[in-house]
A and B are shown apart, each in its own frame.
Chain A
Amino acid sequence: MGLFSSLIQRKFKDIAGKRYERILKEYRDFLLTEEEMVLPEIKSVLIPLDRFIGEIPVEVYETLSAYRDAKFVLLYIIDIHVSYMIEQTLGVEASEEFKKKEKEEGMKLLGKISRNFEALGINPQLRLFFGDKSRDIISLAQKHDLLVLSKAYGSEITKTHPLSPVVLKIVQHVNIPVIVY
């Protein structure tokens, strides 16, 4: 330590005492650490959608626009279990009707969200299939760097249950960053 450094540190100790350590500790409670501050490199973003999601908030679009160069996948999964249950209880015809309506609704939502992304200069890939929402997303998430999920994905949310159980299961099983909006 040079002469100047030791003089500064001596003076600093005299003037500030232990106040700085206390202030630093208080700041650490709510500021990100060096490690947390390093933003992960995002090359691929997975955005699952379903009938419980009407719209993606503007703030999420703004956040995602930072990853303009990444590949975006808008994914609409129609619950295969629901379709099976309808087939078992109401018959094949009702099940086919459900699938048709779900597909239409899915394509409509994918188109609407896709246009919003295109307005930001992002051209997302669109995918729609029948499957198990939580299992398929957990599996697909391995091929992506960021998962963007609505709190209402897979189930309606209420005041007493502000987070869908499907979302809870997904976030507990994926090991990539997740934005829950």
Chain B
Amino acid sequence: MGEANFSDAGFLRRLKERDRVAWAELADAYLPQLLRAARGMGFTIEESQDLAQSVFAALIEGIGRFEGRSHIRTFLFGIFYNKVAEYLREKQRAEENDPIDEVMESKFDLQGKWRQPPLDIEMEIIARQMVERCLETVPRSQRIAFHLRAVSEMDTTEICNKMQITPTNLGVLLFRARNYLRECLERMGLKRG
């Protein structure tokens, strides 16, 4: 069944009647995307499974109120982003200071000139091989922000709206995520000589 048919009134009725086949089709269509997004944001396999299930559970609860004015995918991902935003809200308070800020400060002299400039390494190649390993050094909230920007390719305004954070906040998350990653990849490149 193609995605377009999900907007069909008959399909929506089947969902509301808790038709198992219709729900299985919906899960087949969107679970892979949902789990992929959650994994990309740095949630563990178990957390991603729980997250995807809680999104579907909320959809099962809320389908009665869904009138089909937007696409069901939009509705589903709306629930997902709300849950991620909720997670960020709880998480962020604890992370006012981050070690990467000091690392970055130490890279410049008092005039703001590079003291330790970026090394001339083959970042394209290193990044392709090591990015997953280096992503593990990036705190989760920063990873979420960076994923939404670089992989989901949302613009900054959209991310701020969906995640309920200020542009300043998003800027801090992106600054830290990128610099953690770049630092790690640089170290990896150095090791390989």
Say whether A associates with B. Answer: no
B: which residues have CB within 8 A of A? none
A: which residues have CB within 8 A of B? none
